[in-house]
Chain A
Amino acid sequence: MADVLELLLRVGCVFVAFLVLPLLVGQTEHKVMAHMQGRLGPMYAGGFHGWAQLVADGVKFAQKEDIVPANADRRVFQLAPVLALIPYLVALVAIPLAPGLVGAELETGLFFVLAVMGIGVLGSLMGGWASANKYSLLGAFRSAGQLLAYELPFVLAAASVAMAAGTLSLTGIVEAWQPWWLLWQLPGMLVFFVAGLAELHRPPFDMPVADAEIIFGPYTEYTGIRFALFLLAEYAGIVVLAALTTVLFLGGWHGPFSDALGWLWTLLKAFAVAFVVIWVRVAYPRLRSDQLQRLGWQVLVPLALVQLALTGVVSVVIS
């Protein structure tokens, strides 16, 4: 009975985090982007600085008519948003906030999270293909092309941390972390973060959804609740990427008073990373698909390989 209760508590906490954190990031994006661009952003919904804007959006989405184009591959079209969303929920299970404060303590947590995150992109591929729309198809092809550019440096940079810590357990990695790793793993962190942005189709790597060129890429034909799930997937993805960057490279719960406030440090660092994700969106123009391939294969992959070599030599020297 106690086991069942603990299971429900863990699953419940993960689910609540999955519902609340993306909304927080989304609202932060509304306000931060607005102020960076000399606007106010949403000010009406909820009274205080438009805090309930995303709740209002959610209510609107839930009431909207569900339109599946007559030419679309109906079943695949309808299922695509679910496949895009669930991987990020599942990835959250393995990410620890503090020692013991984690959905599931997986021995191979890092490997698990990387594997699960790789599934998310299938949602936009399915949606893009099943829409039977030329814009969507182009968007899906761009997604697929983008996948080839970012996935390898993403995995290699993560492998570098696993080498440094000597474990694949995310909790183990944070426990092995030392402040000087910030410098040692810096190239890996940059590669990981940039590749992660590309994985999430965030600007400046948002060519799969480039609204000025191909309407909204794979999501062109989507509306209502299915569109909302795709959007939620994007923001849940930011949460996962920020939390993972924190856990792998920024020392997770390490900080003053980490015995009592470790979880707060993890959350604060993750939000700082999420802020950078938003900042980058405002600061940089969109790259072309071929420019991303060049960046991926001629900068990120070599840099990740150099980081692997550096990690290997330093690890053996100090051990």
Chain B
Amino acid sequence: MNGMAQPDNASYYATYTTVLTVILVGVAFAAAAFGANRLLRPTRPTREKLLTYESGVDPVGEGWAQTHVRYYVFAYLYVVFAVDAIYLFPWATVFAAPGFGWVTLVEMFVFLGFIAVGLLYAWRKGVLTWT
């Protein structure tokens, strides 16, 4: 691990205990807010109140309407690139450490080059314009 001190298990679990506790506090906060609201609020449901809001007009059809998702190609691109980006992080922390240097950097440039060429290809194919 390139001279980086490995945290011992006890402190590792201690930090994540804090994270876990904060998540629990967040859930408790939401529960308390909903609980207080339950005690304080009036409940007088009417048919009109529970109707789906459509600018004051009675709703037409159902809410889960079909739409044309125009950016699904962006979604494919995104998935490819996001997976690539994950590989950057472990590399980012070590590439300048002793024993790595230029070779590691060039290897990453090859990798980034592939990403860039992929993006350029998509661009030239006209994928990056709204269809």
A interface, CB within 8 angstroms of B: 3, 7, 10-11, 14-15, 62-72, 81-82, 85-86, 89-90, 93-94, 103-107, 111-112, 129, 131-138, 141, 145, 147-149, 151-152, 155-156, 159, 162-163, 166-168, 215, 220-221, 224-225, 228-229, 289-290, 293-294, 297-298, 301-302, 305, 308-309, 312-313, 315-316, 319
At the interface, is chain B mostly helix, strand, loop or mixed? helix
Q: Are B18 and A103 in contact (CB under 8 A)?
A: yes
10 A-B pairs with least C-beta separation:
A132-B63, A290-B130, A104-B18, A86-B26, A163-B92, A70-B50, A225-B37, A148-B78, A315-B96, A104-B15
Contact B74 A145 (CB under 8 A): yes
**Contacting A148 at CB < 8 Å: which of B14, B63, B74, B94?**
B74
Give the residue of A129, A155, A294 whose beta carbon is less than 8 angstroms from that of B128.
Answer: A294
Taking the closest CB of chain B, its distance from the CB of A167, in whole angstroms, is 6
Task: Say whether chain A's binding surface is mostly helix, strand, loop, or mixed.
Answer: helix
A215 to chain B, nearest CB (A): 7
CB neighbours of B47 from chain A (8 A): 70
From 15 to 46 in chain B, residues with beta carbon under 8 angstroms from any chain A beta carbon are 15-19, 21-23, 25-27, 29-30, 33-34, 36-38, 40-45
Q: Which of A136, A167, A215, A225 has the most CB of B within 10 A?
A: A225
Once the chains are docked, how many angstroms separate the CA of A313 from the CA of B108? 11
Contacting pair A159 B89 (CB below 8 A): yes
CB neighbours of B29 from chain A (8 A): 15, 89
How many pairs, one residue from A and one from B, have CB atoms within 8 Å of each other in the complex?
Answer: 208
B43 to chain A, nearest CB (A): 6
Find A152's partner among B41, B81, B112 (CB 8 Å cutoff).
Answer: B81
Q: How far is the CA of A215 from the CA of B54 in the complex (A)?
A: 9
Residues of A within 8 A of B40 (CB): 62-63
Are the CB atoms of A86 and B30 closer together than 8 Å? yes
Besides A3-B14, A138-B67, 9 more A-B contacts (Cβ < 8 Å) are A67-B45, A70-B51, A106-B15, A159-B88, A159-B89, A163-B92, A224-B41, A309-B109, A315-B95
Given A134-B65, A151-B82, A166-B97, decide whether A85 and B26 contact each other with a Cβ distance below 8 A: yes
Size bracket, chain B contacts: 35 or more
**Could you tell me the distance between the alpha carbons of A68 and B37 in the complex, rounded to whole angstroms?**
14
Residue of B93, B112, B122 most packed against chain A (CB within 10 A): B93
Q: Are A10 and B30 in contact (CB under 8 A)?
A: no
Say yes or no: A316 contacts B128, CB within 8 Å: no
A137 vs B88: C-alpha distance when bound (angstroms): 34
Note all chain A residues with C-beta closer than 8 A to B42.
65
CA distance in complex: A135, B55 (Å): 10
- Nearest B residue to A316 via CB reads B105
Decide: A152 and B82 in contact? CB cutoff 8 A. Answer: yes
Contacts of B129 in A (CB 8 A): 290, 294
Which residue from chain B places its CB closest to the CB of A131 in the assembled complex?
B63
**With A and B bound together, what is the CA distance between A177 and B36 in angstroms?**
45
Q: Which residue of B lies closest to A141 (CB)?
A: B67
Q: Are A312 and B18 interface neighbours, CB within 8 A?
A: no
The reply to whether the CB of B71 lies closer than 8 angstroms to some CB of chain A is yes
Which single residue of chain A is at the shortest CB-CB distance from B68?
A141
Closest to B60 in A: A134
Q: How far is the CB of A125 from chain B (nearest CB, A)?
A: 13
Query: Given A69-B50, A71-B52, A93-B19: A86 and B27 within 8 A (CB)?
Result: yes
Which residue on B lies nearest to A220, using beta carbons?
Answer: B53
- Tell whether B7 is near chain A: CB-to-CB under 8 Å: yes
B51, B82, B92, B112: which contacts A309 (Cβ < 8 A)? B112
A272 to chain B, nearest CB (A): 26
> CB distance B44 to A65 under 8 Å?
yes
A123 to B104, CA, bound (A): 40
Are A305 and B115 also in contact (CB < 8 A) when A133-B52, A220-B53, A229-B33 are? yes
